[in-house]
Amino acid sequence: MSLIKIDPVEGIQRGEFYTIFEPQIHLSTGEVTGFEALARWHSPEYGNISPARFIPMLEESGQTYLLTRLVLAQTLDARDQLYQHGFTGQLSINISPQDLEDSHFARDVAIALEKSACLSLGLTFEVTESASIDDMVPKANLTELFRMGIKLSIDDFWTGFSTLDRAKLNVFSEVKIDHSIVSHALDDRVSLAGVSSIIHLAHNLGWDCVVEGIESLHMQNMMVNLGAQRAQGYLYSRGIDRSQLLDWYQSNRFLGAAPHDALPSFKSEYFTHDERLFLAQKHNPVWVWDFDDRTISWANNAALAFWEVSSLTELQARDFEDMSNDVRIRLQSMRLRFDSGEREVNTSWTFYPNGNPKHAFCVMSYRKDRGSQHDLMINECFEGFTQLKSQDRFIDPSINIPVPFLKATTHGDIIQLNRHAHLLLAENDIGSLADLLQRGLVLPDEDSAPATCYGQIKLIYQGQEKSFAVACDLTRIASINGRGYAVVFTPINNETGDGRG
């Protein structure tokens, strides 16, 4: 598209721009507490055009105010409609440095608010840290917006100009932690420490803090453990069109979603459709234990196979009253740990689906069903573990992800892995991690890598090549010269196929 001449100003004038809304979630209750408005451009001629392309063009031409005006008007309409149906949270929009440098900006916002039923109620303006606010005009605009009752948020916190100087203006009351920092928190101790520091700084200042870029349950649980209270990201939704926003909110105000035909039915008022879809498509067993009903209330297909049943109905009908005393005590212990404030527990379990033992490493996460008020436990299992603990120098202790995890280059060379990946591979008679580092994961082409792919781990052991199929959840990472993947993987029960069987 580099040779295509496009003009975002003309696109705005032709009505090709529209607004989507990404929900913000309260992590303790699951309640939808806000939405961020995001501009999108769909050209009838060229299709979807990335904001990374059209925003710099508007900034270069000095006409970002056209986009701000459009997004503000559509956000106010959405806000008014939501407030008429019981919503009491915030709707936020991004304002550019050029907006703040316009001496008439605050006045123009006030005129737009006068045409709205709710004035400034529930409205947040996000100011990127890259925006300089040292001059008189930006400071005057921010002060006037604050006086109007508009909540002001520092976006991309800690990535731009002096953060503490902004705090001293006494007009901001929220920070947003950028996904570029959050995405590295899983495997980079500096990023993890940075996220933790920002959360605690916001708490000490009495500010709200929103964590961006939550794309997995593991990331969500890590943020909860760090003390985060609000979050947004693809785990919850990739963005809702303005025309569908009210219907989405009424169905998902506590992360609830109507049952989907392609998924096992689950009547919780906590889980979103996107989250259930994410769990349902996993290749390892995932199920939900209801502490109050003492039964499994939901399970994905891998869990049905693990429990050796043909349907969720059959599994839900299973009588768990005959469980051993050891299991009863462990379940009681789990509930007590959740009651005491823990939100994730990682441990090994032995299950007896039909009398035969199955050993698994389990990642157990707490949830509250807002409808029934029952305490729930998401149990994500990974089979084939032993209790080996290696002190091998190749294992990076900073990687605390409680599932098999490794880093691989786009050429398939494994350069880092955690101890859980070592335990998994130990089940396949791998003698040492030095052997493992000789061969890598066969990855798809870097430009076409899906979120989940199938491949094979190839290893050399005692001079012989071994391989087994795996299903991999891939996340592109930038720390390997921009050409690498973080991989969470589980083995598939065939040793020679492509993993799809």
Whether residue 188 sits in one domain with residue 79: yes
Together in a domain, 240 and 323? no
- The domain spanning residue 170 has which CATH number? 3.20.20.450
Does any domain span residue 393? no
Per-residue confidence of the chain (501 residues) as pLDDT tens digits?
345 678 999 999 999 999 999 999 988 778 899 999 999 999 999 899 999 999 999 999 999 999 999 999 999 999 999 999 999 999 999 999 999 999 999 999 999 999 988 899 999 999 986 667 778 999 999 999 999 999 999 998 876 655 677 778 889 999 999 988 888 887 778 888 889 899 989 988 889 999 999 887 778 877 887 888 899 998 888 899 999 999 999 888 876 333 333 334 444 455 666 666 667 767 778 899 999 888 898 888 888 888 888 788 888 888 776 666 777 788 888 888 888 777 777 777 888 887 788 877 787 888 887 777 888 898 888 775 543 333 343 444 444 555 556 665 555 555 566 555 554 554 454 444 444 444 455 454 545 444 555 555 554 434 455 555 555 555 554 444 444 555 555 544 433 333 332
Would you say residue 391 lies in a domain?
Answer: no
Which pTM was predicted? 0.56
379 alpha carbon, distance to own chain's centre: 18
The answer to whether residues 70 and 195 belong to one domain is yes
C-alpha to C-alpha distances, 130 to 95, 134, 173, nearest whole angstrom: 11, 12, 18
Q: Is residue 231 part of a domain?
A: yes
Q: 216 and 79, same structural domain?
A: yes
**Same domain for 99 and 203?**
yes
Find out whether 474 and 451 touch, Cβ atoms under 8 Å: yes
Say whether 217 sits in a helix, a strand or coil. helix
| One domain, residues 345 and 199 | no
Question: Is residue 69 domain-shared with residue 218, that is, in the same domain?
Answer: yes
Inside any domain, residue 452: yes
Contact between 491 and 455 under an 8 Å Cβ cutoff? The reply is no
Q: Strand, helix or coil at 107?
A: helix
Q: What is the DSSP letter of 195?
A: H
- Claim to verify: residue 168 and residue 60 sit in the same structural domain: yes
Residue 499 covered by a domain: no
The phi and psi torsions of 477 (rounded to 5 degrees) equal -125, 150
Q: How far is 34 from 121, CA to CA, in rounded Å?
A: 12
Q: 433, 418 in Cβ contact below 8 A?
A: no
| Same domain membership, residue 278 and residue 193 | no
Domain co-membership, 140 together with 228: yes
Q: Establish if 107 belongs to a structural domain.
A: yes
The residue out of 217, 252, 287 marking a domain boundary is 252
From residue 95, how far is each of 7, 145, 184, 200, 420 by CA, in Å?
A: 20, 12, 26, 26, 44
Tell me, yes or no, whether 228 lies in a domain.
yes
Give the tens place of pLDDT for each residue, 411-422: 555 556 655 555
Number of domains in the chain: 3
Residues 236, 121 share a domain = yes
Of the residues 252, 282, 314, the one at which a domain ends: 252
90 and 237 belong to one structural domain: yes
In a domain, 133, yes or no: yes
Query: Which CATH number fits the domain that encloses residue 328?
Result: 3.30.450.20
Q: Domain range for residue 324?
A: 273-383
